[in-house]
Structure 1
Amino acid sequence: MTSNRATSAGLPNVLLTHGLLIVFVILAIGPILTVIMNSFKTTQGIFTGPFVPPTAETFNLQGYENVFKRGEFFLNYQNSLIVTIATTLLVIVLATAAAWALTEYKVRIAPLLAGFFIIGIMLPIRLGTVPILKTMISWGIIDTLLALILVYTAMTLPLAVALMMTYFRSVPTELKEAARIDGAGEFRTLGIAVPIVRPGIAAVASITMLPVWNDLWFPLILAPSRENQTVTLGVQQFVGQFQSDYPALLAALTLGAVPLILLFTVFSRQFIQGLSAGYGK
């Protein structure tokens, strides 16, 4: 009887919570769906019924045709893929090695180095745009994808190292000691520990890919030429050039947003589980 009363009393709270979540989902997804839906319409269809799905009279792919004729989205996608994949791999390898060293080797300088990584999380890298630009010019790699890869790696590495350190601390000491007693070297011992910290690696990959793909600042500063433009920069310049062509404008915005939505959809579980588990350790 008491259990039924408690359930009845908690039902309004559950309904209220789910109702608020549904409202927030609509507010978050609604504008995205509206842009995607209107990208398949004629200009007249966009203005006469912006919230109405495309019909036989309003459906039109001319916007996407104009985008691929006037823009260079295939090249932009290729550049974004190269930068994102290369940065993610570099961050995973470097963060894993650095976190392993900082947690395993009890040297005096280890806490100081860990502190530097924590400071790197708090300081926004965009404050150093001018020194970064001068460095890339002096190295002769300005307006190249390599410049973007190096900057994004440095930008993401502090958080990745801090996150991986929490996971390596959870690896049982007995496992590592048993591996060393059996004659395993440091690389072999690290290889034994890596499967245990796979959720952390997935979280690192997630927090690296999403900001890198979506960034506009550094592509605009370090790689502005047409052959090195990323998707975000290509969309931004296309929007500036064809503001009166609304179907093409919405099609360009859709092409820029869809990959980011897919990335977040695929890796959202790893992102949330990895971060929550890492910070909870």
Structure 2
Amino acid sequence: MAGSLKRQNRHIPSHIIMLIWVFIVLFPLWVLLINSFKTRLTIYENPFWIPKQWNFKNYVTILRDGDFLTYFKNSFVVVVLSLVIVTVVTSLAGYALASWKSRFSSFFYFLLIAGMMLPIKIASIRLLEITRTLGLLNTIWSLPPIYVAMGIPVGVFILTTFVREIPKELMEAAYIDGATSWKVYHMIILPLIRPALATVAIYNLIPFWNDLWFPLIFINTEDQKTLLLGVTRLFGQYQTDWSKVLAVLTLSAIPVLALYLTMSQQFIKGVTAGAVKG
């Protein structure tokens, strides 16, 4: 009994740290949510507590009178398309690099993951010229190629490492049975790397969804704007209706939270893979 109590007391500092971290994470979400139900003036009275009178007009106005649904649709299409391409390309690249027995495989691997150390924003002017040449300027289709380039380095890094952890005997047995490389990838590799794919998707979802830099540079047409770029319309020169801004941001956070909750188990498996041996 005494040993059990000692072990429990040993975890108390960890629990305290976790509680503090939970508060730090949830407090901005709390402020975001409760202030989205206040009016433009009452938001300044007590910004950290629930409103005296709940105001749903912010959400009604945004959904009915604004272009929120158009902005949301544009962001959704861009992000989903980018994530699908990133996960497919990086899973194929990870499988190829993990199976490629050559002195050049390490060179191509480090060449791909070098993008993790080079911020893509430094090439914004050149990317703008390329986008204009391709005729994609002022369209949402100018964004997926940029996001795919952003997501490939970390995706290759995670998935190549994950595929290398898969026992070689599984693939060798499949080859002996007459399976092609494509069938091995489809029947063996993909089911086993599902946690890593979830990790790559969630890791890239947030910077894709929250990106304002490239939509601001590439898109001026109103019906092609993404969600965060559309939010900038609510910022006035002399005053800003923060309650409506927070309402839009609350709605924009729902897809990120929904995807994380849907894939949380796979995400945890992916980030903890290899932490326990045996």
What is the TM-score when the length of structure 2 is the normalising length? 0.89
More off after superposition, 216-225 vs 63-72: 63-72
Query: C-alpha separation between the residues in 2 aligned to 1:218 and 1:250?
Result: 22
> Residue 43 of structure 1 contacts residue 246 of structure 1 at CA under 8 Å; is this kept in 2?
yes
- The alpha-carbon deviation at position 153 of structure 1 amounts to 0.4
Q: 2:77 aligns with which of 76, 82, 96?
A: 82
- Taking the aligned partners of 1:158 and 1:279, their CA distance within structure 2 comes to 22
**Residue aligning to 1:217:** 213
Q: Which residue number in structure 1 is paired with residue 47 of structure 2?
A: 50
CA shift for structure 1 position 106: 1.8
Partners of 2:85 and 2:191 lie apart in 1 by 18
In structure 2, C-alpha distance between the alignment counterparts of 1:221 and 1:90, rounded to whole Å: 23
Q: 1:29 aligns with which of 26, 38, 45?
A: 26
1:229 to 2:243 alignment: no
The aligned counterpart of 1:187 is: 182
Shift of 1:70: 4.8
Q: Is the 2:205–2:256 contact (alpha carbons within 8 Å) kept by the matching residues of 1?
A: no
**Counterpart of 2:97?**
102
In the alignment, is residue 175 of structure 1 matched against residue 183 of structure 2? no
- CA shift, 1:44, in A, is 4.7
Q: Give how far 1:279 is off.
A: 7.8
Against the structure 1 CA distance between its residues 121 and 7, is the aligned structure 2 distance closer, same or farther, given a 3 Å change threshold?
same
Residue 148 of structure 1 and its aligned partner are, at CA, apart by 0.5
2:60 maps to 65
Q: 1:254 aligns with which of 238, 246, 250?
A: 250
Deviates more, 1:4-13 or 1:216-225: 4-13
Unaligned runs of 5+ in 2: none
- Bigger shift: residues 248-257 or 90-99: 248-257
1:39 aligns with one of 36, 39, 64: 36
Q: Could you list the runs of 5+ residues in structure 1 that have no partner in the other structure? A: none
- Greater Cα shift, 46-55 or 164-173: 46-55
Contact 2:37 2:56 in 1 (8 A): yes
**Count of aligned residue pairs for this structure pair:** 276
Deviations 1:228-281 (A, max 9, x none): 111121123323479443432332232233333333343344334313316889
- Tell me what 2:151 maps to: 156
User: Is contact 1:63–1:247 with CA below 8 Å preserved after alignment?
Assistant: yes
Structure 1 CA distance, aligned partners of 2:45 and 2:182? 64
Query: What is the letter of the counterpart of residue 26 of structure 2?
Result: I
RMSD, aligned α-carbons: 2.4
Inter-partner Cα distance in structure 1 for 2:238 and 2:60: 13
Please tell me the residue identity of whatever aligns with 2:250.
Answer: T
Residue correspondence of structure 1 range 130-169 to structure 2 within 5 A: 130-169=125-164
Preserved contact between residue 95 and residue 160 of structure 2 (Cα < 8 Å): yes
**In 1, are the aligned partners of 2:194 and 2:266 still within 8 Å (CA)?**
no
Question: CA distance change for structure 1 residues 128 and 92 in 2, over 3 Å: closer, same or farther?
Answer: same
Higher mean C-alpha displacement, 255-264 vs 148-157: 255-264
Moved more, 261-270 or 108-117: 261-270
Bigger fraction of residues in helix: 1
**CA distance in 1 between partners of 2:78 and 2:234 (Å):** 21
C-alpha spacing 1:118/1:90, structure 2 compared with 1 (3 Å)? same
- Residue number in structure 1 paired with 2:262: 266
Q: Supply the AA of the counterpart residue of 2:16.
A: G
Q: Does structure 2 retain, via aligned residues, the 8 Å contact 1:39–1:247? A: yes
* Residues 131-154 of structure 1 deviation map (CA, whole Å, 9 limit, x = unaligned): 111111122212222221011001
Contact 1:148 1:223 in 2 (8 A): no
Matched ranges for 1:113-128 at <5 A: 113-128=108-123
Q: Cα distance, 1:63 vs. partner?
A: 1.8
Report what 1:277 is aligned to: 273
Deviations 1:163-204 (A, max 9, x none): 111121122222212222222211112112221222112212
Three-state SS of the structure 2 residue aligned to 1:143 is coil
Could you tell me how far apart the structure 2 residues matched to 1:179 and 1:102 are? 18
- Asked whether the 8 Å contact 2:234–2:240 carries over to 1, the reply is no
1:66-109, CA deviations, whole angstroms, 9 ceiling, x for partnerless residues?
Answer: 32355311011111111111111101111111111112122342
Counterpart contact for 1:219–1:233, Cα < 8 Å:
yes
Instruction: Give the Cα separation in 2 of the matches to 1:43 and 1:241.
Output: 16
